[in-house]
Structure 1
Amino acid sequence: MIEFRRVSKVFDGGEKKIEALKEINITVEKGDIFGVIGFSGAGKSTLIRTVNLLEYPTSGEVIVEGKDLAKMSEKDLREAKKNIGMIFQHFNLLNSKTVFDNVAMPLLLSKKKKKEIKERVNEILRFVGLENKAMNYPNQLSGGQKQRVGIARALATNPSILLCDEATSALDPQTTKSILNLLKRINEEYKITILIITHEMEVIKEICNRVAVMEDGSVIESGNVIDIFARPRTETTRNFIRSVVRDEVPSSVYGLLNEDAYFSRIFKIDFLGLSSGQPIVSKTAKRFSVEINVLFGNITELQGIPFGNLIVEIIGNEDEIDRALQFIKNQNVKVKEVTKDGSKQRAHFKRLVGNSVHG
């Protein structure tokens, strides 16, 4: 477990002090894959570096496995840090050392016996899929292979906590996916708690069960990933979510909707879990005297749970649209009325595009 208790960090920039962290309160439970997301300068790198005291907090406490590392003796701190592995964005490998020697480095520093080092390094290299690269040097490896070496090195001392500092941002999408799958395996098979910082919402979506969103040194919201995706409270979080789950009709589609005799309203319907598989649009069109024009929609998966949205135009008289709307709301989905400018005003539109369902 990792607890950040009112953690602040101030850097002295001469005449101007920089508040990198402002009273952060987060709890990372044992077994979590906890993501911290934010734009550059949000303070997330500073935050993760306080866990192993690469940065000391100016105030507050960082409690790791029940202990405040900042209050430990130098000897006890060295021992405690062996329980915390760290993966870096740019790998931080020694180019003059082989893959085997890079992974063995933490064990050599811990004065482990030669036989024990050999067995452990070979075991970890098999786990990360690099057993045939032990005698290679970093400049002979791809970016993904270098990061696997970094991961193997971080696992060498059998840590219970793994810190990932933008571990995939230097990698292409396919390699990123393979590294994320490896991190999931580490969490599941070794029962290691993972704290990962990133500016990519795709990373959060793929492997994290909980997330904190940072902005300007503060945590602006945090919680279960599914809850954050389904009910974001801040515009920053909504912007991150839109990078992986698009929920706005392209402006070109709105441009084709002009005033006509029909009365219509546009709604965004959010689906989560079982409701994602329900034929809500078809049921509504059959039950009520309305036409439903599907403007836009997508679906993705969060922790194995379907999540997505539809944006539809409902066409008919006002009373019948109200009845249809109430029926949709009763299907355990979230419904929001929208128009071209994002407001909730009613509007008259001509039905020219999309797949219409007529009741």
Structure 2
Amino acid sequence: MITFNNVKKAYKSGDKEVHALNGIDLTIEEGEIYGVIGFSGAGKSSLIRCVNLLERPTSGKVFVGGEDLTELSPKNLREAKRKIGMVFQHFNLLNSKTVYENVAMPLLISHVKKDRIKKRVEELLEFVGLVDKKDNYPDQLSGGQKQRVGIARALATKPSVLLCDEATSALDPQTTGAILQLLKKINEEYNITILMITHEMSVIRDICDKVAVIERGEIIEHGSVFDLFSNPKTSTARNFVSSVMNDRIPDSIRKLVSQKDEYQGIYRINFVGASAGQPFLSQVAKKFKVDVNVLFGNITELQGVPFGSLVVKLKGEPSEIKRALFFIQQEKVVIKEVNTHAS
């Protein structure tokens, strides 16, 4: 559905050239919710704005629905853009227009007949839950309601692609959850491909099918959300995962276990799916002469599958710990020794 082919983007800054994108190769399949995450200045917004050519790539090609947008004539590009909706971080609503008029704006620009505009706008306001607000102005709405108006407006022309540029970062956590559920509903009921730009890993966890990590204008890691959470390969990805999994050993715990003990080890255990419900740690304590102390941990859900992480201390004779570790590995969980002095 969306393909970036060696896309580069550079900006002029005085006599210097700033490279925002450095050869992006990425494919988002039809019907996916694809997240792109990165720190400020990584190139996220430049990337998403290249999809609808709000920013034209310095070089490379951008394909949407099989069409190379960079090669289209102005007229054909306008037609192609009608199939690409966009939701902005700060809503971008017209304060002088009512909710109804804001949603209707793309249809008015496209010279759609009034009766069809009325039908489409009412349908969308029903969909986003704002029928009773149609005559209100943006200043009379909450942040979440404003974003619902922005989403309805982005859907007005029946796009096949929806771009979300930090669509939830200006919202509180509860409202963020509601907006994400609405986006999920849009994806499922309208079969719209969604590309989300965010710096919040919780957004990626809660809604996305796949994710790419961008850093200094390059994609440094990409794949399924499940794979990224369970086995991040780069330090940047690990930092983002840690922000929602909270899997770093707290300093207070690190101090407690930092005293050298000849017969103890600290291990991180990652478990997924059915293994999350198995009592393998209690079985270890029963089967082997090993004391098991759970230091801390948590569990979350990724695409409907339980995923968790525990940090445990195993104490006993080296031979018994070795046998216990082998047993745990047979339970199809990932276990690694932790360096308690690492940050």
TM range (shorter): over 0.9
Deviations 1:145-188 (A, max 9, x none): 00000000000011010000000011111111100000000000
Q: Name the CA shift for 1:184/1:261 in 2 (closer, same or farther; >3 Å).
A: closer
State whether residues 85 and 162 of structure 2, in contact with CA within 8 Å, keep that contact through their aligned partners in structure 1: yes
Identity %: 62
User: Letter of the aligned partner of 2:226 in structure 1?
Assistant: I
3-state SS of 2:223 partner: strand
| Contact 2:257–2:340 (CA under 8 A) maintained in structure 1 | no
Amino acid at match of 1:297: G
1:48 and 1:270 mapped to 2: Cα distance?
33
Q: Which runs of 4 or more aligned residues in structure 1 lie more than 4 Å from their structure 2 counterparts after TM superposition?
A: 258-262
Q: CA RMSD in A?
A: 1.2
CA contact (8 A) 2:21 2:47 kept: yes
- Is contact 1:262–1:315 with CA below 8 Å preserved after alignment? no
Q: Indicate the residue corresponding to 2:33 in structure 1.
A: 33
1:198 to partner: Cα distance: 0.3
Where in structure 2 are the equivalents of 1:166-245 lying within 5 Å? 166-245=166-245
Q: Secondary structure at the match of 1:243?
A: helix
The residue that corresponds to 1:97 in the other structure is: 97
Deviation of 1:248 (Å)? 2.0
Amino acid at match of 1:249: I
CA-CA distance at 1:273 after TM superposition:
1.4
Question: What displacement does 1:257 show?
Answer: 3.1
Residue 324 of structure 1: aligned partner: 324
Q: Give the Å deviation of 1:262.
A: 6.3
Q: Distance in 2 between matches of 1:39 and 1:176?
A: 19
The alignment partner of 2:309 has SS state of: strand
Would you say the 8 A contact 1:262–1:316 is kept in 2? no
Q: C-alpha separation between the residues in 1 aligned to 2:145 and 2:44? A: 25
- The Cα offsets for residues 223-246 of structure 1, whole Å up to 9 and x where unpaired, read as 000001111011011000011001
Which residue of structure 2 aligns with residue 78 of structure 1?
Answer: 78
| Normalised TM-score (structure 1) | 0.94
Shift, 1:260, TM fit: 7.3
Evaluate the alpha carbon distance shift between residue 258 and residue 215 of structure 1 in structure 2; reply closer, same or farther with a 3 A threshold.
Answer: closer
The yes-or-no answer on 1:160 pairing with 2:160 is: yes
What does residue 337 of structure 2 align with? 337
Contact 2:93–2:150 (CA<8 Å) still a contact in 1? yes
After superposition, give the CA deviation of every residue in 1:283-321 in whole Å (9 maximum; x if it has no partner).
111111111011011100011110111111111101110
Write 1 or 2 for the structure with the bigger share of helix.
2
Q: Aligned equivalents of 2:9 and 2:311: distance in 1?
A: 43
2:256 alignment partner, SS class: coil
- After superposition, where does 1:268-307 map in structure 2 within 5 Å? 268-307=268-307
Matched AA of 1:140: Q
Counterpart of 1:68, as a letter, is D
Instruction: Quote the residue 2:308 is aligned against.
Output: 308
8 Å CA contact 1:267, 1:338 repeated in 2: yes
TM-score, L = length of structure 2: 0.98
Q: Which residue of the partner structure matches residue 87 of structure 1? A: 87
Match of 2:56 in 1: 56
Instruction: Give the CA deviation at 1:339.
Output: 3.0
The aligned length equals 343
Supply the distance in 2 between the matched residues of 1:34 and 1:113 (Cα, whole angstroms): 34
Judge conservation of contact 2:258–2:340 (CA < 8 Å) in 1. Answer: no
